[in-house]
A and B are shown apart, each in its own frame.
Chain A
Amino acid sequence: MLEIKNLHAKSEDKDILRGINLQVNVGEVHAIMGPNGSGKSTLAHVLAGREDYEVTQGEILYNGQNLLEMNIEQRAAAGLFLAYQYPIEIPGVSNKYFLKAAMNAVRKQHGQPLIDTTSFLKLLKENMQLLGMDKSMMERSVNEGFSGGEKKRNEILQMAMLQPKLAVLDETDSGLDIDALRIVADGVNTLRGPDRAIIVVTHYQRLLDYIVPDQVHVLAEGRIVRSGDRTLALELEDKGYGFLETHSAAASAAAV
């Protein structure tokens, strides 16, 4: 489903991603871990097509298509979804309106008819119940005045409504208490299925107790320095990112 080959990306004056290789097959859940500043969010944004980053080398194939040639909204319509680490506020635009506009925008791109209000509201109600969200959230402006946890839940609600093929969750767990974490994880697990893939970016292994990944990758200084199964996450938690430094140095040396 997703194949990243030797991906290099930089912001205006800084190389951030320095040769990422990653393959995610349909039906899989991958976790990406790594210390702050290692490039996890940058990778997520490069996948989404954020224009602040320039891809200088490498390629990304998404269902056989060259992802880098698609613009942001085309990627979205092709089923790529990013749950933001820092969701954006849009004052004056109700959450409900935004959700419907997003769903219809995707439909429009596919030349499909717009969703009718009844089906939309039914779907919305179901998903909100699943995520334990209060009805009043829908009338409020997108993310405005939301608590950290509410914002994250709202991202998952959008994901649940849009039913993406590839969902990238960027630190959706941070700022959530344990109950909220469980609810969000349930939401993600509901999406899990043979025709989708999920990339979970996280700082802590805690989330992976609830969303059990098929593979875990550790990102450090813009490279994947280790890949493994779940136990890698546990090992990280045990030893901290510090233990990576030696590995990271070795990996850098190996990569040169």
Chain B
Amino acid sequence: MSTDNALLEEYSQREYKHGFVTDIEADAIAPGLNEDVVRLISSKKNEPGWLLEWRLKAYRHWLTLKEPTWHNVKYPPIRYQDSIYYSAPKQQIKLNSLDEVDPRLLETYEKLGIPLEEQKALAGVAVDAVFDSVSVATTYKATLEEHGVIFGPFSEAVHKYPELVKQYLGSVVPYSDNFFAALNSAVFSDGSFCFIPKGVRCPLELSTYFRINAQNTGQFERTLIIAEEGSYVSYLEGCTAPKRDENQLHAAVVELVAMKDAQIKYSTVQNWYPGDADGKGGIYNFVTKRGACRGDNSKISWTQVETGSAITWKYPSVILQGDNSVGEFYSVAVTANHQQADTGTKMIHIGKNTKSTIISKGISAGFGQNSYRGQVKILKGATNARNFSQCDSLLIGDRCGAHTFPYIQVRNTTAKVEHEASTSKVGEDQIYYCRQRGLKTEDAVNMIVNGFCKEVYDVLPMEFAVEARKLLSVSLEGSVG
């Protein structure tokens, strides 16, 4: 066997760069889940009665649900009663500037290569940093306020804009949607809330860095973005997590609402701790992300680069209600070592002339298992609906796997649905060719993989694309040569 091949087989040897624990005192409640815990979470946040009621309904519904098993991922049973459902860093929540933030927290971000300060200055990005479950730093508020943009912690929005939250919470992902969404609805800790008023083009790209920290704490983020008529917003989500031995459950819900002529671009670079080379530890990431194109001519784009998590279960979807509305899904998912990903999208065409595009790039290395699961549904009234799907899989080594599960349902004869799929291997001949031109094997593999992902990088916001490239090469680092 050739050396390249042997090197490719070692491709799983990747070390998680962001594995460290920040020593900040956490205010956590005892492990376990029951109605009292739900009430406690709600009271800790001083929530209004209607929200507590909603949480309790969700909790009671969750009790009736079974964890799904249809996905193509395997993991030992999650012991929900062993998880801690609330944890907040013990520090002042109201902060006027970064100076007031615990310096160790800032240090953490710096280690991650995402210093808030620099980000603010260089990228002009407003950062709502979520540390564990409570937002601790909110920046660029003034600029946003000038434009009437609301962007801040979800828990704050509940108090400041109860009517908006009440109107939209659960309107895209109802608590009854699925097992993990129900769990999230019962115990969600915090997240981001974003409202772009009519006709406003959000002057900044909005960004949130999520991070799991306190040991054994499930993360239940809840994000809600509302784009009013004719508005535009680009939202960036990125996450990393410290090294852990135990599996950590993460079940987030993200809801997007785009009204007439509005556009939401939601980009994610996701790097939760994937577990070690033997498959031990790592985050279980069960996420429900969905957007509703409520108004005519609205548009929602999901772009994601997923390199982390032991398990990824995630199907960012778009409900195309408004006529001429557009849904897009661009995804790069990497599974190395023993990582498993079952990810894809759902495009539900309801309105006339609705259009959706799905570009999915799955990369499997080591023992990684990567499944694309995509549903395209064209309802009766969706005259002239269009969908184009392209699912490409790239295999590195020969012990990993790629799987494609397309579900296509067409109820309107004027619809046009195209599906293309391909599976290829990082070829030894490609590596040989690059090396003959002077490149080292590792650089060659990086180049080939980045080339494979190009169509997705092209639609990522600039600075995120740079980050994604870096992240991918870090993910692949040490695995070859």
Contact = CB atoms under 8 A, between A and B. Distances in A.
Do A and B form a real pair? yes
Contact of A87 (B4, B433, B438, B441): B433
Contacts of A103: 438
B197 to A, nearest CB: 39
Contacts, number: 78
B451 A91 contact: yes
A93 B436 contact: no
B452 A52 contact: no
B438 A106 contact: yes
Contact of B438 (A52, A73, A84, A141): A73
B443 A90 contact: no
Nearest to A72: B435
Interface centre among A72, A76, A109 (most CB of B within 10 A): A72
Interface stretch (B64-72, B145-153, B424-432): B424-432
A13 to B, nearest CB: 14
B452 A73 contact: no
Interface string B446-461: 0110111111000000
B201 interface: no
Nearest to B453: A92
Interface centre among B2, B430, B432, B443 (most CB of A within 10 A): B432
Contacts of B453: 92
B452 A105 contact: no
Interface centre among B3, B427, B448, B451 (most CB of A within 10 A): B451
Interface centre among A48, A103, A105 (most CB of B within 10 A): A105
Nearest to B424: A91
A101 interface: yes
B432 A72 contact: yes
Size band of the B side of the interface?
Answer: 20 to 34
B440 interface: yes
Interface in A131-159: 141, 158
Interface in A40-80: 48-52, 71-73, 75-77
B451 A51 contact: no
B79 interface: no
A109 B438 CA distance: 8
A256 interface: no
B35 to A, nearest CB: 52
Given A51-B2, A73-B440, A90 B435 contact: no
B433 A105 contact: no
A75 B439 CA distance: 11
Contacts of B435: 71-73, 76
B447 A93 contact: yes
Contacts of A51: 2-4, 432
A82 B435 CA distance: 11
B422 to A, nearest CB: 10
A98 interface: yes
A115 to B, nearest CB: 12
Contact of B443 (A49, A75, A91, A105): A105
A90 B436 contact: no
Interface string A87-108: 1111111000110011101100
Contacts of B447: 90, 93, 97-98, 101
Given A90-B433, A92-B450, A109-B438, A52 B443 contact: no
B438 A105 contact: yes
A199 interface: no
B436 A82 contact: yes
A33 B325 CA distance: 62
Nearest to B455: A92
Nearest to B6: A51
Contacts of A90: 430, 433-434, 447-448, 451
Nearest to B443: A105
A162 interface: yes
Contacts of A91: 451-452, 454
8 contacts: A71-B435, A72-B432, A73-B440, A75-B436, A81-B436, A88-B432, A90-B433, A102-B438
Given A72-B436, A102-B438, 11 more contacts: A48-B436, A50-B432, A72-B432, A75-B436, A89-B430, A93-B451, A98-B437, A101-B439, A101-B447, A105-B443, A141-B451
Going nearest first, the 10 A-B pairs with the smallest beta carbon separation are A92-B451, A93-B451, A92-B454, A51-B2, A102-B437, A105-B438, A88-B433, A72-B435, A106-B438, A76-B438
